[in-house]
Amino acid sequence: MQLVQQQAQIIKSLKAARKAVLVVHVQPDADALGSMGAMAGLLRHWNIPHSLYCKDVPVHARHLGFLVDLQTVTADLDDALRGADTVVVMDCSDIRIAGLGDIVTGK
């Protein structure tokens, strides 16, 4: 039952967002870009403004563009975070790999 409650809390938090930023790890693979594309689709369905961030915009992954519109992924973190109150990091076990370590640690 605890998992169901956690899922419900995540959904509640996402639906309450004024703007969400979706973040994936550097050099994203199909798992990361697929997660980003799926979550972006869900946020669009819920009419929640969002931006997509990857520290190194995945030019090497053009062949994975069917998973997410790579033209909409930015490497400009300040721009991605502007107006955001929610950040979702996906497919990443260490926030430093997502390029957010400096923000979290304050360095």
For 41-94, the pLDDT digits (tens) are: 999 999 999 999 999 876 677 778 788 888 889 999 999 999 999 999 998 888
Residue 107's pLDDT band (boundaries 50, 70, 90)? very low
Using an 8 Å Cβ cutoff, are 15 and 46 in contact? yes
* The token pair that represents 20 in the structure block: 């969400």
Residues ≥6 apart with Cβ < 8 Å to 23: 53, 54, 80, 87, 88, 89, 90, 92, 98, 99, 100
